[in-house]
Structure 1
Amino acid sequence: MVSFDPLVAVTSPGAWEQEGRWREVPRLAADWLRGFDAVTVLAAHPDDETLGAGGTIASCVAAGVPVSVIVATVDEPERADELVAALSRLGVAAEPTLLGLTDGRLKHEADALRDALRAALPDDGTRRLVLAPWPGDRHGDHRTLGREAAEVCTTAGHTLRYYPIWLWQWGTPDDVPWSRAAEMELTPEARERKRSALASFPTQLHSAANPSGVLAAGFVERASAGREVLIEPQADPLAEHFERLHRASEDPWSVRTRWYERRKRALALASLPAERYGRALELGCSNGELSAGLAERCDSVLGLDASASAVELASRRTSDLPAVRIERMRVPGEWPGGTFDLVVVSELAYYLAADQWAATIERIGASLAPGGAVLLCHWSGNADDFAQTGAEAHELFAARSGLRRLVAHVEDAFRMEVYG
């Protein structure tokens, strides 16, 4: 699901074009494309590839670079037909590969998606450029496909670039990762091919006759005439996501002020069976509010977060608490040494895909001291940046941790458990 109105643009096409930072963005020409033996374009849905990279696809064809297209979901046969027509207008002769996964549920089918991408993008010595939706596009399917593409391309040694789609609708110039952006130089022919291809998706074009369409006329016009941007991946897109949130606000989720958050924090501390713990580990400490609370019950607290801004905020919040140490670390790939008497995972697990969460569970088990406890607390709702639900994360922990549930507290809004 998306968390914005696809028919309403936050920034007008004119305002996008007038942004001064475009002057610093490098431009990519056909010679750059000719440096690759093949180009594979990944799309979460039919029309993503045309909206975000149609001009680049047409430029590849003109440069003589073979193009293949892989689409993760196709919810209606008509959309598959529209896709074939659009690709034909872009000059792509090869039939697209349709993975047959479920629209809106890619994060729940990440294993199948990853297996399909590994099969389609092997490490075979081909100098391959892979284009995938930008994970920052505020669409859960785009986030999942972008994340899985990064993992597969890193392993196989392919060059990956992201193309934004919905950024132009929900975003502002401050949301663009300018230091990693480049603009494709599109010829008039490439633009005309893209414009023609976009007209191949009548089921998606919003009009009085088709009010269910999600592509507004102004959005399609910007896609046709506006800049086409490719974004170089960051080493850790999830860390980038949290960094953006903590740069924008010292309290992104209002944990200091909302009664819901303050009450939940008090319940979490009250749920801990022991009066006092030795060494505690908090995963995803954000701005350090829970870290400060844990310091009242623990001899020492190590708070971890992948965001540098979050680490700075948490360090500032706990500066007068010598028992608390905050470090920048991205779990499960990075993990602190030693054992812990208490591990706290609050509002974090649903940002991890099932395989990442499974690896984290193994890490927790290996570092838990005898007699130690694990506190889990997660919101019961869902959001476009979640890789799984809180309920799924708790169920996986119960199934894989080998620990016994000591405390269970379930409300409509959240679920809190202690294992030991």
Structure 2
Amino acid sequence: MSFDHREPGTDPAAWTAFTASVSAPRVSLDGIASLVVVAPHPDDETLGAGGLIATAAGSGLPVHVLLVTRGERSHPDSPTTSPSRLIAVRDAEFRAALGILNADATAEVLDVPDGGLREHAEVLRAALSHAVDGADGPVLVVAPWRGDGHRDHRIAGEVAEEVVGRSAGTGLLAYPIWTWHWDDPVDPAAPWHRARGLTLTTTARERKGAALAAYSSQTRPLSPAPGDEAVVDDRHAAHHLGETEWFFAPERSRSRESFDAHYRRKPEGWDFDGSWYERRKRAVTLAALPRERYRSALELGCSTGVLTAALTERADAVLGTDISEAPLTRARTRAPLARFVRAALPDEWPVGRWDLVVLSEVGYYLSPADLDRTIDRVLASLDDDGVLVACHWRHPDDEAVTSGDAVDARLAERWPRPALVRHVEPDFVLSVLPGPAVVAPATAEGLAP
């Protein structure tokens, strides 16, 4: 997503009409012991969650803000100021705004370079993990929506999803900032089916408005010169100063209960043996393997073991996992040479090293955070000469969290090396992602230089 904040963007009135039609659960702070807000830049905490921070003040709920960067690149073309000057100005604005929202709120500045969170994600990961792990009671983490369109916002959202995903008793809400500017309420890209609304009291709205006004370096031009324009002008501010503050709840991976119910209805799962589509796809998957033999293969989401049985003919040892126990009973009969364990990805990860990992028709059942963690698990347990083979259906699936194309794109984005094979057709997409020591088959045989 690319956008220019200097463009007029979407009319705030269009969003007002749209959100009036959204029937969304209300945000509740009941049962929450503390609030941790992730702000990639000074003013994000006010724009995205200022009303929530002010509401927490009224209920005596502790609030801690992690300010990731100092926002020194907000005016890269300014002829009148510099990043170092902006750091001092925006630091003072942040302290003033937070004091207006909630005088008891605490803050930690992580000092990541503005625009550089991707390269310094571990700094936020460590700070957020520490804040969550050290809390006394249930924590609600509030962070940018990963689809917001700004690089730092995306990484902040991804890190928050990751940390919350592995922290028991921790909730997550994601706030949009630039989404209001570039998205279209006629056909929105944002996940409004997961929206949550916080109706603001008059006091909370007044505090939010006053806190935003404290950011004069962002809400007013620095000078009449080109490059000194306001970043958050009145039109953009209008998106954030309404009666309701909007958030998105996290996407959840498809549950074990859902799969158990599926196998009660269809004990064989899907028509793996009878369908020509399934048989052909399986043949294409096996043909895409760059080596004839493997030492140790892991199949994630093996279902009833049809592909697993074929893998036992290509690998010395094969382990199949599935979230549901029912299909594994059939898999053990169908593929007696393989081992099987029930495991939910990515938390219940099997111990071992693999030179072949197969992720077939599974990735789109995982939430974005769980998919990222699964990729990390694969990378950590894959031998240098190993490959990940990922194959996914490209048509809609009512039970899927995302799409096959989205999974394939995320794998390509996260994998440290280009795909060795990428096969795309109308029904499915297949990618073979190599370890650092993998070479093409002809090169391995000495047929090509």
Code of the residue aligned with 2:154 in structure 1: it is R
How far is 1:146 from its partner? 1.8
- The 1:22/1:65 distance shift into structure 2, 3 A limit, reads farther
TM-score when normalising by structure 1: 0.60
TM-score when normalising by structure 2: 0.56
Structure 2 distance, partners of 1:35, 1:221, is: 31
Identity %: 37
- The 1:195/1:356 distance shift into structure 2, 3 A limit, reads same
Residue 114 of structure 1 pairs with residue 125 of structure 2: yes
Structure 1 distance, partners of 2:293, 2:44, is: 53
SS class of match (1:143): helix
- Contact 1:121/1:156, CA 8 A, preserved across alignment: no
The correspondence for 1:183, drawn from 179, 182, 197, is 197
SS class of match (2:216): coil
- The 1:331/1:106 distance shift into structure 2, 3 A limit, reads farther
- Mapping for residues 340-351 of structure 1, pairs under 5 Å: none
How far is 1:165 from its partner? 1.2
Per the alignment, residue 218 of structure 1 pairs with: 235
- Contact 1:281/1:342, CA 8 A, preserved across alignment: yes
Per the alignment, residue 3 of structure 1 pairs with: 2
Structure 1 distance, partners of 2:410, 2:218, is: 26
The correspondence for 1:161, drawn from 159, 173, 176, is 173
Structure 2 unaligned runs (5+)?
73-86, 255-287, 301-313, 315-342, 364-368, 390-408, 419-433, 442-449
- Mapping for residues 277-288 of structure 1, pairs under 5 Å: none
Per the alignment, residue 17 of structure 2 pairs with: 18
- Contact 1:122/1:156, CA 8 A, preserved across alignment: no
* Cα deviation digits, residues 217-258 of structure 1 (max 9, x gap): 200122123631122111259xxxxxxxxxxxxxxxxxxxxx
Structure 2 distance, partners of 1:33, 1:342, is: 45
- The 1:373/1:179 distance shift into structure 2, 3 A limit, reads closer
Between the two proteins, the alignment pairs up a number of residues equal to 318
Indicate the structure (1 or 2) with the bigger Cα radius of gyration: 2
How far is 1:100 from its partner? 1.5
Structure 2 distance, partners of 1:353, 1:20, is: 30
How far is 1:13 from its partner? 0.9
Per the alignment, residue 379 of structure 2 pairs with: 361
* Cα deviation digits, residues 249-268 of structure 1 (max 9, x gap): xxxxxxxxxxxxxxxxxxxx
- The 1:402/1:72 distance shift into structure 2, 3 A limit, reads same
Code of the residue aligned with 2:142 in structure 1: it is L
The correspondence for 1:231, drawn from 248, 262, 265, is 248
The structure 1 segments of at least 4 consecutive aligned residues displaced by more than 6 Å after TM superposition are 271-277, 280-283, 329-336, 339-345, 351-355, 385-391
SS class of match (1:224): coil
- Contact 1:108/1:388, CA 8 A, preserved across alignment: no
Residue 404 of structure 1 pairs with residue 425 of structure 2: no
Code of the residue aligned with 2:41 in structure 1: it is H
Which segment drifts farther, 50-59 or 169-178?
A: 169-178
Structure 1 unaligned runs (5+)?
238-270, 284-298, 300-328, 377-384, 395-400, 409-420
Structure 2 distance, partners of 1:390, 1:180, is: 25
Code of the residue aligned with 1:12 in structure 2: it is D
SS class of match (1:175): coil
Per the alignment, residue 69 of structure 1 pairs with: 65
Structure 2 distance, partners of 1:274, 1:73, is: 46
- The 1:353/1:145 distance shift into structure 2, 3 A limit, reads farther
* Cα deviation digits, residues 109-162 of structure 1 (max 9, x gap): 222321111111116442322211111212222222222222323414222211
